[in-house]
Amino acid sequence: MDNKYEGLRRATLLIASTLTVMAGAIIAPALPQISKEFSHIQGAELLSRLVLTLPALFMAILAPLAGFFIDRSGRKTVLLISLILYAIAGTSGLYLNSLEAILVGRAFLGIAVGGLITTVITLIGDYFEGDQRSRFVGIQAAFAGMGGLVFISSGGVLADIHWRLPFAIYVTSLIVWVMAIISIYEPLKATLKSTDSHDDKPSVVKMPSVAFLICGVALFSAIVFYMIPVQMPFMLNAMEGISNTEIGFAIAFVNVASVTTSLNYGKVKRRLSFEAIMGVVYLTVFTGFFIISRSESYIMMIVGIAISGLGFGLMMPNINLWMISVAPPSLRGRMVGYLNTALFFGMFISPVAIQPLIAISSLYNSFFLIGLIMLIFAAMFFTLPQIVKKRDVSRINDLNGADDI
């Protein structure tokens, strides 16, 4: 590794990670006002939600293509282009006067974020190995949580002044662009062709099967995670006397709580498998969602959001490291691209996927029902490692028996 700008390089990757968090959620507090501003348009309430989630659709569509260019053209080129597009597309809500035009701008923002986060995660896999990689992935998630607190809370304050002002914060990507120009370097091709050194390299389970499982977990987890920024503004706005600033603070609290568990992810990973950690994640988020579904006050909402955040703090570093660990270095960009497709598509369809539950019950009960599904999945993940271990032992015994013949 080129150590000349190592500190700046780490800072660049960490700050870039916060940009992916703020890409959608920063404008969450302004959603009710955007809906009112364009209330004359048919379906304005749903379209206003798409202002938040539409970037995720284009992240999902373009992430594999970004991964292809990352592996073929280089990490740094894709990163720099993505940061420029991020600033241009992100600030478009400041000056565009129609909801349709704003949605187009959000689509281009999604393209930028797809390239940005795929490059960042790929570079983490390139620059770090073993325990150092696990620790940095945890720090990255924690840093994203802290950035989310700052940016989303700021978005709430600015939304109270005018709904357009949160869009101005997207210009901060230009600062990261300058940092990336100075510090980011391309990994040597020889390094990319080498074999990763990690503790979780699959031996019996083939990589395509594991990658498919990881993408499925990412898809469902993203649907669940985005329930808070998408649905919570409308739940809190229905409470008497709750301002946009308070809405922004409440949503940002998921990031505050996630920092604690993200910072300790490396320690957790040394003790638990990827599957067991997902079990802990879903069990924790179930507890938070149960509290949210029964909350009648602003304070109890924050408690439920905070407990959910503890689980989400382990979720992202675990999913990212899981995929990095099974991906060959020369294909890492593409594999991370597929993972981001699952994550971003889950974010995009979150309001659509949850809407039937809201229709047959209520917004509050939808959190409870999703929580029950997570509880079932948690039980499955806690038992999955034992099932795989027994199957591996059985196969080894069969092979040994065949050798004796």
pLDDT score of 56: 76
pLDDT score of 199: 46
CB half-sphere exposure, 36, CA atoms < 13 A: 10
- CATH classification of the domain holding 379: 1.20.1250.20
pLDDT score of 276: 92
The parent domain of residue 56 ranges over 10-188+200-397
CA distances from 211 to 135, 148, 262 (A): 22, 28, 22
Distance CA 33, CA 155 (A): 13
Query: Which are the contacts of 102, defined by CB distance < 8 A and separation ≥ 6?
Result: 51, 92, 93, 96
Nearest CA among 32, 23, 236, 247 for reference residue 148 = 23
Unique residue bearing structure tokens 């019996």 = 204
Distance CA 365, CA 45 (A): 20
| 405 lies in some domain | no
Distance CA 402, CA 46 (A): 61
| 159 lies in some domain | yes
Distance CA 347, CA 24 (A): 10
| 5 lies in some domain | no
User: Do 76 and 184 contact (CB within 8 A), yes or no?
Assistant: yes
pLDDT score of 393: 46
| Widest Cα–Cα separation across the chain | 79
| 291 lies in some domain | yes
Nearest-5° Cα angle at 213, 211 to 219: 100
Backbone angles phi, psi at 196, to 5 degrees: -65, 150
| 3 lies in some domain | no
Backbone angles phi, psi at 20, to 5 degrees: -70, -30
Q: How many independent structural domains does the chain possess?
A: 1
Unique residue bearing structure tokens 């196969």 = 395
| 29 lies in some domain | yes
Q: Which regions in the chain score pLDDT beneath 50?
A: 190, 195-207, 392-393, 395-400, 402, 405
pLDDT score of 319: 93
Q: Is 358 strand, coil or helix?
A: helix
User: Do 85 and 112 contact (CB within 8 A), yes or no?
Assistant: yes
* Conformational region of residue 200, where left means phi above 0, alpha means psi within -120 to 50, and beta covers everything else: alpha
Q: Is the C-alpha dihedral spanning 105, 163, 346, 339 positive or negative?
A: positive
| 193 lies in some domain | no
| 208 lies in some domain | yes
pLDDT score of 39: 77
pLDDT score of 196: 46
